[in-house]
Amino acid sequence: MWDDLKAAADAGRDQSILGMFEADADRADAFSVTALDLLFDYSKTQIDANTRDVLLRLAQAADIEARRDAMFAGAKINETEGRAVLHTALRNLDGDPVMVDGQDVMPDVLDTLTRMETVATEVRGSGITDVVNIGIGGSDLGPAMAYLALAPYCDGPRCHFVSNVDAADIADTLRGCDPEKTLFIVASKTFTTIETMTNARTARAWLQDHGVSTDGRFIALSSNAAAASEWGIPSERVLGFEDWVGGRYSMWGPIGLSLMVAIGPDGFKAFLRGGQAMDLHFRSAALPENLPVLLALVGIWHNQGLGHATRAVLPYDNRLSRLPAYLQQLEMESNGKSVAMDGTSLTVNSGPVVWGEPGTNGQHAFYQLIHQGTRVVPCEFMVAAEGHEPDLRHHHELLIANCLAQSEALMRGRSLDEARAIMAKKGLTGDELERQARHRVFPGNRPSTTLMMPKLTPEVLGQIIALYEHRVFVEGVILGINSFDQWGVELGKELATSLGPLVSGDAPADGKDGSTQALLGYVKRYS
Ligand code: F6P
């Protein structure tokens, strides 16, 4: 199957995207899908009907539908950790049974959702002005991203997100908070993560230093209620979730509490409804019409097919400024692996490097490389038809125009002759015209996709996040890897723990490599 993809890539690599539009008046229709509230346009890529068939066969050969059904049915598809993968149960608002080890997990899930609603409603009415979520990775990025994304819907206390062990993070956050009116949410699935526990202890000391009792000032979101209670947070203030919710897939449950506090239980449930609607679409749509499958196949085409190692996520929505970071964890922690589920080494590239910034800001920073650099960066544009500032509609029109202009410019490019004509119009002639014109050439034929939505509401955000989750799953299945473990983060954690005493000078650095010893020596000289 991978050989077929390679053959399609060899044939399609230099295919003119513009030429494909000229040859097929219906290309935009034929290579886009509308589902739920979303339009996904992948017509500005080099995928033609043959390539799409090859990609769909790749999906079929990987038995996508069976793996998908196994996931939703609670099978232990996270084989290296022996766990089911059921973040989808957290947004299963209808409560249809979901079985794990012969037990329906839905009563507990819905009970926890009700507890979250009670807590969020209490906090919203309690006079608390600031809520500080202390967590990292999946216990931070989801709610932090969504809090910004849904700012127009936030009518609760201010929320802050402290993640970094760098004291700057918590110090800068607490500087703006009133200890009498601040609530801390300690979000950690394991309740052992060193960054989170360090920040939580600092938060507790901050309250004590200000003479404020810590009683009732902490809520824990964790699978490890015992550790939370040992830390001093009683069980009635712990919202738990099971090991079948992976950290980077956890914002739909208790880890989303700060978001629920900010937008209210109804807004949060609208977010869940959006995710649930995407689940239904993923489970029922035929593969060629299936949004997560298509996003995954376009990704496979660009990365494993054409060898483009990175993918830029470019939301034309300032409020989605943390979406690229969120997707970085989702995609790179899930699919950044070189060993397949069966223990063999991957023979194709692992998942891509994901990066990006909102437009239009990125245009004035890194788009230069995207347009004229030597490497091709497939771009994923994203924009809403409508903004949240109707009185400033002209801003939004400019935003959309810029988004569309970029995908058109990437595809169209500018030929040397066109560049020469521009220079001639400016009055240049001869060698100087020739020299200047060369710098103004855009190779063009650079692929991009565009995801459009009516408006970034909680429900639409839910659709988008679930779409990306399932896309990552499909990519992982096609690559044959387990998208739900993250062993690659372990080694650094272990070494950081053992380096702690060396940095504080409590243990000698002997035995460390020369570079590490020299770097430690520098710290010692200056601290
Ligand atoms: O270091 C990786 C990781 O395990 C992520 O997968 C996870 O989201 C993050 O750390 C935080 O973990 P926890 O929620 O257990 O504190």
Domain residue ranges in the chain: 2-61+285-412+447-485, 87-270, 491-526
Domains 2-61+285-412+447-485 and 491-526 share a fold: no
Q: Residue 139: CB within 6 Å of ligand 1? A: yes
Tokens encoding 73: 């049915």
Cβ atoms 86, 96 nearer than 8 A: no
Distance in angstroms (rounded) separating the CA atoms of residues 527 and 522: 9
| CA 447 to ligand 1 center in whole angstroms | 34
Task: Estimate the crossing angle of helix 458-479 against helix 291-300, to 10 degrees.
Answer: 50
| CA 206 to ligand 1 center in whole angstroms | 25
CATH number of 491-526: 1.10.1390
Per-residue pLDDT of the chain (527 residues; tens, 9 = 90+): 899 999 999 999 999 999 999 999 999 999 999 999 999 999 999 999 999 999 999 999 999 999 999 999 999 999 999 999 999 999 999 999 999 999 999 999 999 999 999 999 999 999 999 999 999 999 999 999 999 999 999 999 999 999 999 999 999 999 999 999 999 999 999 999 999 999 999 999 999 999 999 999 999 999 999 999 999 999 999 999 999 999 999 999 999 999 999 999 999 999 999 999 999 999 999 999 999 999 999 999 999 999 999 999 999 999 999 999 999 999 999 999 999 999 999 999 999 999 999 999 999 999 999 999 999 999 999 999 999 999 999 999 999 999 999 999 999 999 999 999 999 999 999 999 999 999 999 999 999 999 999 999 999 999 999 999 999 999 999 999 999 999 999 999 899 999 999 999 999 988 899 999 999 999 999 99
Cβ atoms 408, 43 nearer than 8 A: no
Residues contacting residue 374 through CB under 8 Å, at least 6 positions apart: none
The candidate with the shortest Cα–Cα distance to 159, out of 138, 188, 132, is 132
- The CATH label, of 3.90.850.10, 3.40.50.10490, 3.30.460.80, 3.40.50.300, for the domain at 87-270 is 3.40.50.10490
Instruction: Indicate which atom in ligand 1 lies nearest the CA of residue 135.
Output: 16
Q: Can you name the residues that pair with 238 across neighbouring β-strands?
A: 220
- Exposed/middle/buried for 70, CB within 10 Å: 0-12, 13-18, 19+? middle
Q: 197, 486, 487: which to mutate for ligand 1, most atoms within 8 A of CB?
A: 486
CB atoms within 10 A of CB 179: 16
Cα distances from 326 to residues 322, 339, 509, in angstroms, run 6, 24, 36
Q: 134, 139, 241: which to mutate for ligand 1, most atoms within 8 A of CB?
A: 139
Instruction: Indicate which atom in ligand 1 lies nearest the CA of residue 489.
Output: 1
Active-site annotation, residues: 333, 364, 493
Distance in angstroms (rounded) separating the CA atoms of residues 349 and 344: 14
Pick the residue whose CA is nearest to atom 10 on ligand 1.
Answer: 137
Q: Residue 334: CB within 6 Å of ligand 1? A: no
Cβ atoms 185, 258 nearer than 8 A: yes
Q: Residue 137: CB within 6 Å of ligand 1? A: yes
Q: Residue 486: CB within 6 Å of ligand 1? A: yes
Cβ atoms 447, 410 nearer than 8 A: yes
Q: Residue 163: CB within 6 Å of ligand 1? A: no
Query: Domain 2-61+285-412+447-485: which topology?
Result: Rossmann fold (3.40.50)
Q: Can you name the residues that pair with 316 across neighbouring β-strands?
A: 383
Cβ atoms 240, 252 nearer than 8 A: no
